Structures are given as structure tokens and as C-alpha cells.
Structure 1
Amino acid sequence: MAGRQTLTGLLLASAIFASWLALTLYGFYGVEPDALDPLLALGLVASLCWLDVGLFIVAHDAMHGSLAPQRPRLNRLIGTITLMAYAGFSFDRLTPKHMQHHRTPGTATDPDFHAPAPAKALAWYVAFFRQYFGVRELGVLALVVMILTFVLRVPYANLLMFWALPAILSSIQLFWFGTYLPHSHQDDRFTDDHRARSSGYPWLLSLLTCYHFGYHHEHHRHPHIPWWQLPATREAAR
């Protein structure tokens, strides 16, 4: 069972990373933003945004060891690569914070939670962004930008449109569907101490919004389950 889960997880992770890399390179060198059809540009940005979310989700599964069960070094390697590709994040720095989120979800000690305003999305997003994007990440991205611009000769307009913009949009997407909607304080009460709710989205919409992490209560109850098994886990619980 673990071997099959590892194989499936690695194949999906490889597909996400390869698609992200191919579209990123196409955005860097294959198009001219000024001459690009607006619909094609929108489709490319949207696709890259979704694949950026995918990079983070792959790293997230690696944090839980569900990407490759019983293979901690492989999980760490893939998580390190995908988080660095996503936004220059450190796998070793993010993993303890995420484990703390699972230990005390929706409380003042949860690094993903905004206790001062648990129902205000904008204030929460700003706090969420500042929690994970600091001086180190800014320095890493500044170095990456210099390499891409001056060494690899990526046009600045292409860099902004097909790298920076999708990354920013993906952070909003991850926050909204993977943090705010599941954990915000609304009229409905949480059912248990996981303090998480799940979306009722159908399979395709669930995949497109956040790789099934809208099924967030299921994830908190079964953190060892990889993202692609969450729909089946949700169905089994009904």
C-alpha cells in the first residue's frame, strides 16, 4: 500500500513540477506580453497560478510524510525543491510551523490563525503573509530575480507577468480555500477540536480550487492521507 501511494504521489508531483517548469519557461522565453492575445495571457497566468498552488500542496504532503510514506529523506528532498521553486521558502522552517498548526488549530498558538480577527479575511491574509514571508524569503527572491534577469536574460515584463503575478495570486488562492474558509469563525460551529470545516465542492471544483484541500476537516482528521485521496476519504466518512 505504501509503495503504491509513493508511486502515485511521485508521478503526480512530477507531473505538477514538469508542467509548472514548462509553462514558466514558455512564459519567460516563448511569448511577448505586449503582443500576446489577452485570453491566452489570462489562461497562462491562471494555469501557472494553479500549478504554483500544486507545488505548495506537494511540499505540504512531504511535510506530513504522505508523499512518500516511510521515506523521510525523499519527502524532505522533494519538499525542499518544490517550496524553493514556489517562493524561495525553506522546508525546514515551514514544517515545524505547519505541525504546530495541526497541534493547535484555530487558536492563538496556531501560526496560520489570526486570533485578533478570526472572521476578517484581509487582516488575516496580511498576518498570514507576514508570518511566512520575511527577510530571508525576500533575500532569496531578490537573488533569484537577479539571476533570472541578468544571467538567464528573462525579460522583466515576462518575469512579472508569468512568475511574480501567478505566485502572488496563488498565495491568495491557498489562503482563501486552504486556510480562511476552513478555519475562519462563521455562524456555523466547528464539530470538534480540529476547528476545521470542509467545502461541499464537487470533485472537479475541489481540485481546481485547492487540490482538494477544501476537504479540510478530513485532512485534519487524517493528515497522513495525500491530497489526491481526500475525496475518497470524504466519501468514506459519509
Structure 2
Amino acid sequence: MAIAKRRDNRGVSIAAVVVAAWFLLLVYLLQWPLSFYSPLTYLFILLQTHLYTGLFITAHDAMHGVVAPGKPKLNKFIGTVTAFMFAYNWYPRLLPRHHQHHRHVATEHDPDYHHGTFWPWYLSFLKQYITWWQIVLMALTFNVLKLYFPLWNVILFWMIPAILATFQLFYFGTYLPHRGEHTADNKHKSSTQAKNHIWAFVSCYFFGYHYEHHDKPYLPWWQLYRAKE
């Protein structure tokens, strides 16, 4: 736990980079001359999706107190802001649910777990984390943005990446690691990706190393690869 308790500003700096990259790229893409024939369009969608996911991963790290270790108010502030930027999620609502997941992983008391196939599990996951007021705020934001920016830019670079990011988080951070039966000696009831740091980062900020995350929740996402070394 020494890593988590040590006063360290790297987490704050990395969080700032993620937020700034997401915001600046979004502003740029909302005004970008869109072409459905350009491969850049689809590359930008994937990049913006990845940065959206980074917002939630940052909020997630804040839930473990590792964005600004030793500075609980700053840590909570960053978690609240990044969660809100990710489709208006409310950090105080997410925090107890996530710790419940860690305490009761892959049981009936785990809000992230669903004993079933992929799509029913995904819908169950969405119902746990999406509220009606989020949908209303997203709809209002969409209608405001389309007053100032081209409609298809708003759809492709703001709306679709937000949806794809929920899928990315679910598939790599919940479904793959917790599906199926786990052996009795697997205390975290989690599987893990094979060691490939590039793919682990691209797929979901190293959260495919999921057993390692449950085993060492004090490691921020950008240090999680070390648990594989």
C-alpha cells in the first residue's frame, strides 16, 4: 500500500493529459471537415472512444484513491469531474457500487456481475450504471451541440464514441475477466489477458490484466502492467 499512500503528482498529471486530450480532440473533431470516404474519420472515432474510456478509467482510479494519493479532496474532485464527463455519471453513486464489486466479485451481490450470456449481461451492466437523468442530459447536450456544429460530426465524434466506450469498458473490463467458472483457488474470480502491454493498453488501459487489478487495486492504470512483469 506504500505506492497508494505516497504523495505523488504523476497521477494528477496523467489525469490532466487524458482530460485535455479528450476535450481538445473533441473540439477539433466537431469542426473537422468530415468525409465518410476518409480512413481518418474512422481512426478518429476509435481514438475518441479510447479517450472517453480513459475518462472513466481515471474516475475508476480515483475510486481507489490512486489519482492523487494522500490528497483525498483533490482525488475525489478529479474522480467526480471525469465521471461526469463520461456521459454524466455521478461519482458518489459509482463509488460504493465499485467497492461492492471488489468485495463480492462474481457473486449475486456484485453489481457488475450477471450470470448469463453476453447481451443480457451487457444490458444488465448498462442498467446498473445508466440513469434516466443521464439520458436526459445527454439528449439536451446533443441538441445544444447540433445547433453549433454539423450534425454528423456530433453523432460520429461525440455520441458514438460515448456508446462504444461503454462497450469497451464492459467487454474488456467486466465480461472477459469474469465470465465462466473460476477455480476454487482463484480468490478474485477473475481471469487475465496474456502479457502484451501494447494490446493491454489499447484494449482498455491495462484492465485486461484484471486479476492483477483485483490483487493490487492500489496500482493506478498506468502502473498496472508492472504486476505482469
Q: TM-score, normalised by structure 2?
A: 0.93
Deviations 1:141-180 (A, max 9, x none): 1232233234xx1222111110111111111111111001
Contact 1:125 1:175 in 2 (8 A): yes
Return 5+ residue gaps in structure 2 as ranges. Answer: none
Deviations 1:20-79 (A, max 9, x none): 1111111111223xx354301011001001111111101100111011112111111111
Contact 1:80 1:91 in 2 (8 A): yes
- The 1:102/1:42 distance shift into structure 2, 3 A limit, reads same
Q: What's the secondary structure of 2:86's corresponding residue?
A: helix
- The 1:160/1:142 distance shift into structure 2, 3 A limit, reads same
Among the aligned pairs, what percent are the same residue? 38
C-alpha separation in 2, matches of 1:31 and 1:14: 27
Report the AA paired with residue 200 of structure 1: A
C-alpha separation in 1, matches of 2:185 and 2:17: 36
2:16 maps to which residue? Answer: 14
Q: TM-score, normalised by structure 1?
A: 0.89
1:185 aligns with 2:180: yes
Residue 218 of structure 1 deviates from its aligned partner by 1.0
1:127 maps to which residue? Answer: 124
1:109 maps to which residue? Answer: 109
- Superposed counterparts of 1:48-63, under 5 Å: 48-63=48-63
Contact 2:19 2:55 in 1 (8 A): yes
Contact 2:4 2:219 in 1 (8 A): no
Equivalences, count: 227
Q: What's the secondary structure of 1:6's corresponding residue?
A: coil
C-alpha separation in 1, matches of 2:153 and 2:25: 12
Contact 1:28 1:154 in 2 (8 A): yes
Contact 1:5 1:67 in 2 (8 A): no
1:139 maps to which residue? Answer: 136
C-alpha separation in 1, matches of 2:133 and 2:184: 36
Of 156, 167, 174, which residue of structure 1 is paired with 2:162?
167
